[in-house]
Structure 1
Amino acid sequence: MKKSIRLEAPDGGWGILVCFGMAMPFISILGSFPSFGLVFGDFLKSIGAETSAIAFITSAFFCSLSFAGLFSNSLFNRFSRRTVGIVGGILYFIGNVMQVYVKTTAELTVAYSLVQGIAAGLIIPASYTCFNSYFVKKRVMMMAFSQTVIGVGTMCYPVVIQKLNELYGFRGSLLILAAINSHAILGMLIMQPVEWHMKKIVVNNDIERDRSEPLMNAEERGSRQSMHLRPHENLSSRMGSYISLGTWNGPIGVSAESVKKRSYWQCIEDFLDLSLLKDPIYLNIVLGMSFALYSDLAFFTLQPMYLFELNYTKMETANIIAFGAAADLISRVIIALSAIFVTVSSRHIYLAGSFFTFITRFAFLEVFDYVNMAIVTAIMGFLRTWIHVTMPLVIGEYLSTERFSSGYGLFMFLQGNITFLIGPIVGYVRDRTKDYVVTFHCVNIFMGLCVFPWLIEVFYLKCRKYKNSTRS
């Protein structure tokens, strides 16, 4: 009886440190949005910048992030995910240092939106792709665990920002914040290649041979069918897998004649795996999540300035934001524990979170006292987890592992450009109306653009399934 060694994803081990490594830059990136008004509010007011400037800066951040994320797959083909992530961590730290010396809105846009946006666009896909390679069976549970660590950091972020502002002033607090955010580099250093930590499983060759025979026959049939494909179809399938895998550096077996016949746009389509955009369900997923994510980030970015307008103090505002972050943390723990016992579709969780957030925001605009404001913010923070934790998992459930990198990169590209286009419009509405309530209703409309198309898709598929079952 012959035995051999098979390599499997560790599903633990060094992967636990990868979870912490992913959390380090994510705390800085996600914590900066709700705290943007606390950090730069007084500075922007002192130079006469209005809400439209804040909307443009945050929108430009996502635009930079989207373009960097789109081309991250190409970088993964030339360099390791760890190298790309480290470069992103260094850029993020440089952007923080540049913010210490900003004096105008343009300088803040370059430091925050351009430099740190590109850095985030390199860090996020490198982190998620590395995480997916380390975990297969425990992916949902460990993602929830990592997001719980991120939740702890984002909960403390606004309180720390407020204390630093009180003790060291605007520029002194930014300098200390740059030192804290330099841990993003350490987090990316932890992202070691999964090949260094693969589990070695002893298998029985005779049993494996018996199991693999049907699969081999299927693969032989598939290879025969692929010989009858037209040249451009064969190239498309190969290029799609080439980009999605993100680690292959060898040549592609395609004749030069078939490449010459292809147009420039077709090569771009294959290189970036744009065929995914022809899938209506994938398109509904990424557009819905893009609108929901913009709505979420815009809402929590504007919330501190709305509270200031209601005459809340900076300490009360920081505490309210911290209540929301604490509820976010509790929700992450619940998801992590429930994932052990209950299996629920990540997309259903995302849809539920978006729907109840859409409803809760109407209640938010009807409360004004400190206690009720803290309670409603906590409810929205609890629901916010259902959106952020499941976001990469929704795409991971729909797409194969090989196409996750390209699929997530396209999502980042669409989300960033949607944010870049919508953000200044919402800022303009706020400056023209001078009314945060109208602005929040506009922001909530985009959350509805996720909820209602997804519900329509669910009902359509249910009805089609019912009709097919009655016919059969």
Structure 2
Amino acid sequence: MTTAKKMYREEPPEGGWGYLIGLGMALPFISALGCMPSFGLVFGDFLHNLGEKTSAIAVVTSLFFSSMSFAGLLTNTLFRRYSIRTVGLIGGSLYFFGSLLQIFVQSTWHLIIAFSLIQGAAFGLMIPVAYTSFNAYFVKRRVLMMNIAQTLIGIGTMVYPMAMRFLLDSFGFRGCLAILAAFNGHAIFGMMVMHPVDWHIKRIEIDECELKEIIKKNQLENQNNLIIKNDLEAANEEKSHLEPLMGDENSKNNINENGLNNHELKRDSKSNSMAKLSNNNLEKVVENSIDNKKSMGIWEYIVDFLDLTLMKDPIYVNIVLGISFALYSDIAFFTLQPLYLFELGFSKASTAEIIAIGAAADLGSRIFLAGVSAFITIPSRYVYLSGSLFTVISRFAFLLVFDYTGMAVITAIMGFLRTWIHVTLPLVFGEYLPKERFPSGYGLFMFLQGNITFLIGPFVGYIRDVTHSYPITFHCLNFFMAACAVPWLIEIAIIKLKKKATTV
């Protein structure tokens, strides 16, 4: 008696090595996201001694995100030539190298090269690697594990400013940068653990009932494909009969050298193409796609490479512009806040404590969102809209307080709202874009967001240098935050009015 051959299906680990993937994703995010609110704390005195103005900080941070966006846009091309882990290791090594260069920084240009260009590009390479690997290892537990990873990032960003203050007081400016470089070297470890999911895939034996369900599902899919094929062939044949035939002398042009009518050739070629598709001849499809790309012009290739047809979608454009303005406003605000507190007379210790309180509120908000999402389903875009709208209101209150307690409370409120802007960002695109267009749509957003940040960053810094007023600068940043909330509210109102008009 012969035993039946066992069949297996492959599933993501949903744990195991995936826990290290989550840790590896958190490490570079802690370093990159934690350094922005503490940038003025670490480099403020250095830039002041160089005689640089606020615009220098705006240019340095803006160039960081611009470099990140360009590198993120190139990752799809790099993934075709190298493994995901290799690209991640390149990014982690560059990030560590940029940190080493900062130890010997002597001018603003040195800081731009080391921090903005090298580390910005490195972080842009690591983001897609981390997200791609994480999504490969987790499917069913993806939301839970992402919340845990975001909590780790929140804890890291909360401790970061306190650690920077301690290092500055204990080891000075250069010593602080040396220890920070050692910590940033963990980005290499974070990318090193990004093993291909095939190394840790789970093989689960398929029982008889499950095998029957799979066979039944495949049969239904084949029947549907056959129906679609027959419908398309019938439509093509009907179309070929409706096309007018040329008469007299022009009818000769409809006969090729082999004596066949061109309409018949068209019909045959369409049938052949459909047959190839129905037989899943993917190699031919890929070859045809490559040939089409070779025949493209430069502009057509750029449109296809960047998926610029998304820019014809007004809702997508509204999402991209709104999030880009809100992100820049948020990052620039928390970068300038330490300098504003110094101007108000707060000590470095008090400033670091206030920043840490905001980071702690950020962490609490991440836990709060994770708990709420387990019981209530709220569109991510509405959460993002609420965060930007309430942030505009809280910033007006921020400019009305000058004591430690009031500043700590309002910073905690803004830190709590900050999570609604950062954590839900990829989910906004994921809920609006189809799965097949998410990579290109998100990559295009990174590219546009980086360039928008680069364009408006120096402008805001120039306003601060001309007016010598932080409140005016913060009002300008608040305008960009409102540039997210107001157009989104208008869009929602228009869509609801149209739906109401169609139902009447």
TM-score, length of structure 2 as denominator length = 0.85
Partner-residue secondary structure (3-state), 2:8? strand
Question: Alpha-carbon deviation of 1:71?
Answer: 1.0
Q: Which moved more, 1:194-203 or 1:360-369?
A: 194-203
**Which residue does the alignment assign to 1:423?**
457
Question: Alpha-carbon deviation of 1:79?
Answer: 1.3
One-letter code of the match for 2:129? Answer: A
The structure number with the bigger radius of gyration is 2
**Which residue does the alignment assign to 2:469?**
435
Say if 2:395 is the partner of 1:361.
yes
Kindly indicate whether the alpha-carbon contact (under 8 Å) linking 1:140 and 1:339 is maintained by their aligned counterparts in 2.
no
Q: Are the structure 2 counterparts of residues 373 and 399 from structure 1 closer, same or farther at C-alpha, using a change threshold of 3 Å?
A: same
**Which residue does the alignment assign to 2:442?**
408
One-letter code of the match for 2:169? Answer: E
Question: Alpha-carbon deviation of 1:5?
Answer: 2.4
Kindly indicate whether the alpha-carbon contact (under 8 Å) linking 1:148 and 1:332 is maintained by their aligned counterparts in 2.
yes
- Tell me which of 103, 110, 114 is aligned to 2:113: 110
Question: Alpha-carbon deviation of 1:225?
Answer: 7.8
Say if 2:379 is the partner of 1:350.
no
- Tell me which of 198, 205, 211 is aligned to 2:217: 211
**Which residue does the alignment assign to 1:146?**
149
Question: Alpha-carbon deviation of 1:352?
Answer: 1.3
Cα-to-partner distance string for 1:188-212 (whole Å, 9 max, x where unaligned) = 1121222233333425222222233
**Which residue does the alignment assign to 1:339?**
373
Equivalenced residue count is: 453
TM-score, length of structure 1 as denominator length = 0.91
Question: Alpha-carbon deviation of 1:224?
Answer: 6.9
Question: Alpha-carbon deviation of 1:251?
Answer: 8.4
- The gaps in structure 1 that reach 5 residues or longer are 235-247
**Partners in 2 of 1:358 and 1:249 — Cα distance?**
53
**Which residue does the alignment assign to 2:351?**
317
**Partners in 2 of 1:133 and 1:332 — Cα distance?**
23
Question: Alpha-carbon deviation of 1:322?
Answer: 0.2
**Partners in 2 of 1:197 and 1:58 — Cα distance?**
39
Kindly indicate whether the alpha-carbon contact (under 8 Å) linking 1:125 and 1:408 is maintained by their aligned counterparts in 2.
no
One-letter code of the match for 1:324? Answer: G
1:280-299 correspondence runs (5 A): 280-299=314-333
**Which residue does the alignment assign to 1:379?**
413
Cα-to-partner distance string for 1:371-427 (whole Å, 9 max, x where unaligned) = 010000001101111111111122122223333222221111111100000000000
One-letter code of the match for 1:57? Answer: V
**Partners in 1 of 2:141 and 2:67 — Cα distance?**
32
Partner-residue secondary structure (3-state), 1:7? strand
**Partners in 2 of 1:257 and 1:189 — Cα distance?**
37
**Partners in 2 of 1:27 and 1:19 — Cα distance?**
12
Tell which has more relative contact order, 1 or 2 (C-alpha 8 A, sep 6+).
1
- Tell me which of 186, 189, 194 is aligned to 2:192: 189
Say if 2:4 is the partner of 1:17.
no
Say if 2:34 is the partner of 1:31.
yes
One-letter code of the match for 2:137? Answer: Y
Q: Which moved more, 1:75-84 or 1:397-406?
A: 397-406
Question: Alpha-carbon deviation of 1:96?
Answer: 0.5
Partner-residue secondary structure (3-state), 1:200? strand
Say if 2:138 is the partner of 1:132.
no
Partner-residue secondary structure (3-state), 1:254? helix
Kindly indicate whether the alpha-carbon contact (under 8 Å) linking 1:89 and 1:185 is maintained by their aligned counterparts in 2.
yes
Kindly indicate whether the alpha-carbon contact (under 8 Å) linking 1:141 and 1:339 is maintained by their aligned counterparts in 2.
no
Say if 2:273 is the partner of 1:270.
no
CA RMSD of aligned residues (A): 2.4
Say if 2:266 is the partner of 1:254.
no
Say if 2:85 is the partner of 1:51.
no
